[in-house]
Amino acid sequence: MPGYEGHLDRDQFRGAFPRWARLIGHLQQISSPRFPVDRAKRQLTVGDFLSQLNQDGDAWKNTGSNPLPAYAESWSGTTDGESGIDPVYAMARTANDLDVYYDPNEQLPDDEYLARVRETVLAAAPMRQNPLDGGEGLGGLVRYTTRDIEVAGRGHVVFTIDVQPVDDSRGPLGLRRDGDAFTIEVDVKMPTMIQRSSEPERARRSIVGVRLPGLEPITPLLRPVADLAADKMAALALQPGVGDGIAAPRFKDIADLYYIARTCPVDGEKLRKALAENWHWREAGRTGPPQPYRFYGQAPARDDETEILWDQGFRQLRARIPQLQDYPEFKEMTETISTFLDGASDPSNGVWDPARGQWLPSLRNEVASTMDRALAPESRTTDPQQPMVPMQRHLFVFDVDKTLSKHDTLDTLAELAGRLPEVQAVHAPDYETSIRAKIAVLRGVDASLVRQVAETIELSEGAEQLIRELKAAGHEVAIASGGFDAVVGPLAERLGVERYAAGKLGIENGVLTGEVSGLIDGPGKVTAIRGWNEELGIPRERTVAVGDGSNDVDMFEAVGFAAGYQPGTAAAAASHTILRDMGQLNRVVHLSPPDRLTTPAATRRGSSERTT
């Protein structure tokens, strides 16, 4: 259950916060005008409630404005150092409701969808008169009850949830109220309202902006940010809806689009697809956004439009919301938004860089074309100083067997042990079963042979120099291997690589037990990469994976660029380019140190004119 399993260590959390008042007191200490206590407690309960809904898996995806910080790479503006809250959270517009959609594996008719939604929500927050009889939340500090359910046409259903703080310290004497109740709204979108132009994205960071003892990061699957941006583009470019008899422009979506443009790396290909397929355009009889992009009724308004006072309306919104008071004037915001949205129409643009406020050339196109040139005979005369990728810090992730290493290290170990024929005779339907069966064959083998394999690995030609120069150029390097720590650990140390993921080979009393734990299969490599992305602040779009086998396919699909090194059929099909030797990546290492390693965050806004 990625993103939810064990989201709260009850003993540690309740040890720190035995009563609701203790939690509120702590939130008051770390709060600020931009991230007040009320926002913190609602974000905390919203995250906890989503965890309750998703305790059996990832079927409930988060969407809307509330999880915007979870998409963000960093906030590239200023915050005046008001609090210890990460500015990524502090600068996002306040949005306290929980917008979700239920995304089961099967397609459901609307009535079945509603029935499933109702059943799951009411299991976590039953409809009961006594709030003390509600569903348990936050390790027992609160109870959830549903006060009201409103089905709004065919678009969504809104659950109004009462959150009642309780004192559960009296044991057999029962619960009692321990503070004022408050409400959260759970707005469940219907399938017809959710566009799915690409796969959901795992949150880069927790959807809860405060760090508390015992609270693990809550990182749900999110609706793709490209789809979210496309929706907000449509809301601003199409004629506003009518509320209470007057036009109701969505001034808040200006803030959200600007926030996306200043914090979120966005895949250009995905955004182009999301814009082309967005259902709002079809319902309005349009083929897509205006070119160049403009808000509906933006002065000077066209003859067929009613002029909207966007500047004035946003100024009033900004005056009311503390987070927005650090945002620039309307004109500067619209320039940033227009650069972001107009650039999306250019197929040569790859990833939007929020820190620079500009589109970067397509990494896939640029690397692939460079690889093509490297294969050509005339490549030997090409200037080696010509950069291959944008001048930013990238994460390069390497497989080991038949990638960094010329040989399969497990076969090498089996050969040293005299059991190679038995190991090669193992056939299994999947990677994990195969590896475990092969390791079982090696039960009782002297562990000194493992050390011998680790010390004598023959590296692929150019691999050691490539990694050394990648690191010197300021890039990050990691190893994700389906092999074993006893071999991969010494190899990583030899190459100066600080981060690696590998299974743990069972060794007792100096011999192999025939078992392996923590095996890094295909999904395991993806999990490791996601962890490194978050730790290093490098998004998937700037991650390059190099591997050869079928167990590398998952990580190839999870990164911005996949390089198959003398790959098998499955890996070749998932690769963006095929490498014959490591030397074909050597142009990367001639880049100057990435400017993000040397440019203070506070001055990055002035670097938007720099080229890559």
Instruction: Tell me how far apart the alpha carbons of residues 72 and 537 are, in angstroms, rounded to a whole number.
Output: 10
Task: Name 136's bridge partners.
Answer: 143
* Helix/strand/coil percent split, the chain, to 5: 45, 20, 40
For helices 268-277 and 225-237, give the axis angle rounded to 10 degrees: 50
With CA atoms as reference, report the closest residue to 529 among 504, 557, 502, 558.
558
CA distances from 442 to 408, 420, 501 (A): 15, 10, 22
Would you say the C-alpha torsion 41, 44, 45, 46 has a positive or negative sign?
A: positive
| Two tokens, residue 377 | 């005979």
| Two tokens, residue 298 | 């933006």
Q: Residue with structure tokens 């759970």?
A: 186
Q: What is the DSSP string of 332-348?
A: HHHHHHHHHHHHTT-TT
Q: Is 401 known to be catalytic?
A: yes
Instruction: Tell me how far apart the alpha carbons of residues 504 and 511 are, in angstroms, rounded to a whole number.
Output: 14
| Two tokens, residue 49 | 């409630």
Q: Is 253 known to be catalytic?
A: no
Instruction: Tell me how far apart the alpha carbons of residues 560 and 533 are, in angstroms, rounded to a whole number.
Output: 12
- Of 401, 485, 548, 552, the active-site residue reads 401
In three-state form (DSSP H/G/I as H, E/B as E, the rest C), the secondary structure along 191-243 is: HHHCCCCCCCEECCCCCCCCCCCCECCCCCEECCHHHHHHHHHHHHHCCCEEE
Question: Torsions phi, psi of 338, nearest 5?
Answer: -65, -40
Q: What beta strand segments (E) does 463-547 contain?
A: 476-484, 499-508, 511-517, 543-547
Report CA dihedral (222, 224, 227, 231) to the nearest 10 degrees. 30
Burial grade of 453 (CB within 10 A; 0-12, 13-18, 19 or more) = buried
Q: Residue 415: which residues within 8 A CB-CB, separation 6 or more? A: none
Instruction: Tell me how far apart the alpha carbons of residues 197 and 316 are, in angstroms, rounded to a whole number.
Output: 34
- Of 86, 162, 399, 554, the active-site residue reads 399
> Omega into 384 within 30° of 0, i.e. cis?
no
Instruction: Tell me how far apart the alpha carbons of residues 378 and 545 are, in angstroms, rounded to a whole number.
Output: 27
Q: Residue with structure tokens 């050394």?
A: 468
Catalytic residue annotation: 399, 401
